[in-house]
A and B are shown apart, each in its own frame.
Chain A
């Protein structure tokens, strides 16, 4: 079973985790208001699954810890993990 390195709890087996989907910034109310219905639908329903390194939300269930993992979705290899607060500034501003 795969091991994920939780930034708080250390290496743990996959069964202790919950996958939370792609990391995306929450659009601000202004950005949301400016979107057309079609643009909003795209945001709400679609995700980017292109091969390469994805930033993902993962949750360590026994301790209730959310963190970000960068994972190569082709090789299923975890590159690094960190808490959301410690994420790069740029990922906050993705619209």
Chain B
């Protein structure tokens, strides 16, 4: 392993804790505190990855997650970025996007065919011959991905949570710390989010060499930790900003949904690259990356450096190299006038050779193309164009760029901040901030350390003042003085066409010229055509230069060129964190455990778990269901219908209210009687059906569909307001349990358990009585959904298990069996009873399904009346009919009824095996074909035609004698 630079106070590595890990199958050593990037670079490795398109070797570039040259996977997780991945014993990762490993990547030869793959080439190639497209597609999918998903990987729930604060400060550099401390001292609850493992920001890198900086950092961090109302979260990114000051904070463990009342963005700047030939070779890197290596990880960026700069920071950088003992072969300044600051003077006094008004025109690759061996410098003419004639070569193995910055403000943009380009600063600066959002430091275009901290303090106090926690003086806004720290156009053409603008997407300068030439001359178009900024870093190192290039191509200013919209997330967020604990509320009836004891197969019915059928020995599912149904027809069965919607509607206007909501009459309904009711919406479409029981002069008990009751109840509450009626509406669905005891023996079973008289003359079909059943206060209704003598018993949920057990015990002599949802659906189908939402759809009105009788047209007003008036007059397009099928398999719900090419209708419900001994179905069909005896063709499974015959409904017991059973 290569030697580290000597120990330095404040370094992030812990030399007492060495760590062994594997990369590409090879073991390496690093230290606790190293990231994967710093550890590999520190071990002397230079090729860290292969680029997306050309598979060019790539090395360390930003060391801040602004590039993805080092992108790895570990077999379980993918999209791991080396700059952010801490090493630990046992870490075993591989680079993505290689065929056969990093060193011997078989796809590296693509680089030689670059000229065959100009920008957008895939739009123009691979069309013909069409037969080969599947082949091309498969090959492209193999090459074009960045990593493999492991479908077996365990996905654990993560502890996603909510948090609240007064102020969110993004970035714990000098301005962020200043802002957070000022705001906390003024009494605000502050959350300070820092994406790096430690606070300090540029104080630990750009300013590290200044003797007083270490002390300054410690002081700020200490002050921040003293303040109880200031919470510092490291390794935490602010991934996105949403409505009403909602921010997504993501760390290694979880996502926090933070509601804040104000925000300060002190997120600093992203250093930008220069564009010259081979500016992507391992050894070419950003100045801030070199500083991070030197100060945080104590790794020498290279052995002999050439520094390319256009600002004071580059000169300061040169002095960093000097102090670290790394020779600087040359400092190349794009500016003819050079640097007039203190740092300029110090560099002049050193023995570093300075080239003013020059650029690096080309980085020259080493023998294997895996490193830099030297540079070609060119002087720049008055217009900033390189003059190849005056070129000279220098040997070096590192090219360090410090030519400019772009503010790190994508999340600030999401918070509503709008920017304008300032020539004075050479970058975007804030133009408009929405209320409660502030920018500080270099993100706001304030360079110079003292000014940065002042602007941070100012932003913190502004936030405190806005939230009425501070009424003192707000210090004035610092202004940038001096030359712009960013060069306006550090971009140089080269006939070699390997001068990259976007490293993610392997886009070089000519790609932009070509796209522009083809007419994609607008920022939104050129983005999508070239794909600049659409890669894993979302253009952090590319967008600024792309905009500069487009502006120049169009002869416009940066402001006129515009930018594209920034969207979450700032750095990638795993789906695991987004899913959190995955709350999927599930509802159970109070009889759930009893069903399980009885061997029920449970199914999801909406949010509910219901018993589908009860397993009976080794019998097949279809046999169990039929058995249950037969038992109901011949003796007695018991079903849990607790999921039924149950509403209590009472008050002086209760009857009138019901008459407005439903299509029927209720004013004259006697107490103790119930009726089937149909509800429509204003368009006359059936939305609900159920039973309305009158239990008192002003008290009604209403049942509704399990899946529709919540929405129905909500709508009823609104109707009550709109109609100004005096009604109380109560949704008792979860508070009451219900069971249905059905079959010819039902009376015999129930009569033992209740004080009510069940004699036919005392308890008629459609009667409702309140009484005691199994010692519980119960409401009992006699209805016939399944077509047999039946009693539906409603009790408070806490008594449900007792009721069920008592009924099962009492019915043992009659061979009582529980029956499930499937048996019930079969039984009701035999009776031709429709299920809203299954036999009706979003357009079905009562006249299509034989419910004309339920619509009391003479009523003055009810919901849907006017529409029903119109629908009544219109010719029918379809009608619901019963079918007997010619075979007992091959027909499913939604299968079409066809006649040649013409669609006549569709199947809505079907049962292959029934207690009637024949397969049946309900279907919509055109009225012309609805006559009894008509033969119809169904397009069955696999397109097989199956014939069926129209029969009258109901299939079973047409006179309804069974449910009115009098014995």
Contacts and interface: CB of A to CB of B under 8 A. Distances in A.
B723 A44 contact: no
A32 B866 CA distance: 7
B865 to A, nearest CB: 8
A59 B243 contact: no
B673 to A, nearest CB: 28
Contact of B866 (A1, A40, A45): A40
Interface stretch (B137-145, B714-722, B821-829): B714-722
Given A1-B242, A45-B683, A29 B870 contact: no
B661 to A, nearest CB: 13
A37 B870 contact: yes
Interface in A43-95: 44-45, 57, 59, 61, 64, 66, 76, 84-85
Given A18-B714, A29-B860, A32-B866, A44 B246 contact: no
Contacts of B721: 66, 84-85
B388 to A, nearest CB: 55
A25 B587 CA distance: 37
B714 A59 contact: yes
Interface string B494-512: 0000000000000000000
B676 interface: no
A41 B870 CA distance: 9
Contacts of A76: 243
B867 interface: yes
B26 to A, nearest CB: 47
Given A29-B861, A66-B721, A40 B242 contact: no
B244 interface: yes
Contacts of B257: 1
B278 to A, nearest CB: 47
Nearest to B711: A18
A44 B683 contact: yes
Contacts of B866: 32, 35, 40, 44
B244 A20 contact: no
B375 to A, nearest CB: 52
Interface in A1-33: 1-3, 14, 18, 20, 26, 29, 32
Contacts of A44: 682-683, 866-867
Contacts of A18: 714
B437 to A, nearest CB: 16
A1 B244 contact: yes
Interface string B242-284: 1110100000000001000000000000000000000000000
A77 to B, nearest CB: 10
A66 B682 CA distance: 19
Contacts of B243: 1-3, 14, 76
A45 B682 CA distance: 9
* Most chain A Cβ neighbours within 10 Å, of B682, B722, B723: B722
Contacts of B865: 32
Nearest to B718: A66
B817 to A, nearest CB: 39
Interface in B764-822: none
Contacts of B861: 29, 32
Nearest to B684: A44
Nearest to B859: A29
B870 A57 contact: no
Interface in B860-876: 860-861, 865-867, 870
Nearest to A27: B866
Contact of A2 (B244, B682, B717): B244
A39 to B, nearest CB: 10
A1 B242 CA distance: 6
* Most chain A Cβ neighbours within 10 Å, of B242, B244, B257, B717: B244
Interface in B615-658: none
A57 B717 CA distance: 12
A26 B714 CA distance: 17
A30 to B, nearest CB: 10
Contacts of A66: 717-718, 721
A66 B861 CA distance: 23
A27 B246 CA distance: 41
A40 B722 contact: no
A26 B722 CA distance: 7
A1 B718 contact: no
Given A2-B243, A32-B861, A45-B683, A40 B867 contact: yes
Nearest to B862: A29
Contacts of B682: 44
A75 to B, nearest CB: 11
* Most chain B Cβ neighbours within 10 Å, of A3, A20, A44: A44
Nearest to A4: B244
Given A1-B243, A1-B246, A66-B717, 19 more contacts: A1-B242, A1-B244, A2-B243, A3-B244, A14-B243, A20-B718, A29-B860, A29-B861, A32-B861, A35-B866, A41-B870, A44-B867, A45-B683, A59-B714, A59-B717, A61-B714, A64-B717, A66-B718, A84-B722
28 contacts: A1-B242, A1-B243, A1-B244, A1-B257, A2-B244, A3-B243, A3-B244, A14-B243, A18-B714, A26-B722, A26-B723, A29-B861, A32-B865, A37-B870, A40-B866, A40-B870, A44-B682, A44-B683, A44-B867, A59-B714, A59-B717, A59-B718, A64-B717, A66-B718, A66-B721, A76-B243, A84-B722, A85-B721
Which 6 interchain pairs have the tightest Cβ spacing?
A: A2-B243, A29-B861, A3-B244, A84-B721, A40-B866, A26-B722
